[in-house]
Structure 1
Amino acid sequence: MQEIERKFLVKNFNFKTEAFSKTRITQGFLNTHPERTVRVRIKGEQGFLTIKGKSNQSGTTRFEWEKEIPLAEAEQLIALCEEGVIGKTRYEVKQDKHTYEIDEFYGENEGLIIAEIELQDEDEAFLKPDWLGEEVTGLVKYYNSQLSKHPYKTWK
């Protein structure tokens, strides 16, 4: 259950014309301890509970456990989350054998767009589309758990 991913800022909106799916996401955190986070997510009409462990030194790899839960339960758990529930739209873009997940944030994180790509190993090669910007893998301030506490609009 190891997740290997890299994160990038997005330079422009060109990814939207390449997207094969678009889903509204609401998520909150029941726990944002540095050693583990417990996230509740509503993705479209589905609910999920996710536990993530601490990232490795490069920030690319960490334990992730996720389970689908009934939507009604996810809605109840969102109400219990720490302050700073996040709203975003996720676009999925296929590039060769990989799929980028691009999150366009709303509310207190409006203006921030992050692309993530999951890999089989840390050194795996992948295509970098022209809309992909600076890599932010491992920069804690770009973790959703941190964006819930320190939103993008408050950065200087």
Structure 2
Amino acid sequence: MIEIERKFLVTSDQFKKEAFSQNRIKQGYLSAVPERTVRVRIKGNKAYITIKGSSNESGMSRFEWEKEIPVDEAEKLLLLCEKGIIDKTRFEVKVGSHTYEVDEFYGENQGLIMAEIELGSETEVFEKPHWLGTEVTNDKRYYNSYLSISPFGTWQ
């Protein structure tokens, strides 16, 4: 399956008042190689293993495969992951006909708040809320796999 998404920095915490859902997420990478990331994620009371391929030239589209796995197995797999476990809360916010996933990061990525929107095509028009800031879709530093290796808090 091809995933098409765009990423933006967030300029205020107003999205929290608009969120209809929030979940704590803990995730790690068995492989953070850009051509094939393998992620283990615990989100609330569910867990997943996800494989993603390289992004296309625009940075918006890439192959993604995901399967739900038992939480106890995910906890064991997290122990095998590369350095840098990602810890964040994901807020889901409905804006127009789309849902933004807004991640507030903790630990070494404290201070980073980023929103993602999944689209049906790279040219799909979507509504931008007032709290949406600079687009970082094609900036690989904002991939979670990169943040696990080079946390936001260490950037100059």
Give me the TM-score of the superposition, normalised by structure 2.
0.99
Matches within 5 A, 1:2-151: 2-151=2-151
CA RMSD in angstroms comes to 0.4
Query: Runs of 5+ in structure 1 lacking a partner?
Result: none
1:140 maps to amino acid: K
Query: Runs of 5+ in structure 2 lacking a partner?
Result: none
The 2-side partners of 1:45 and 1:81 are apart by: 20
The 2-side partners of 1:33 and 1:115 are apart by: 23
Give the number of equivalent residue pairs: 156
Q: Percent identity?
A: 65
The 2-side partners of 1:53 and 1:107 are apart by: 27
Moved over 2 A (4+): none
The 2-side partners of 1:107 and 1:129 are apart by: 27
1:43 maps to amino acid: K
Give the SS at the match of 2:108.
helix
- TM-superposed CA distance for 1:75, in Å, is 0.4
- TM-superposed CA distance for 1:96, in Å, is 1.2
The 1-side partners of 2:90 and 2:116 are apart by: 10
Give me the TM-score of the superposition, normalised by structure 1.
0.99
The 2-side partners of 1:122 and 1:85 are apart by: 30
Deviations 1:18-55 (A, max 9, x none): 00001000000000112110000000011100000000
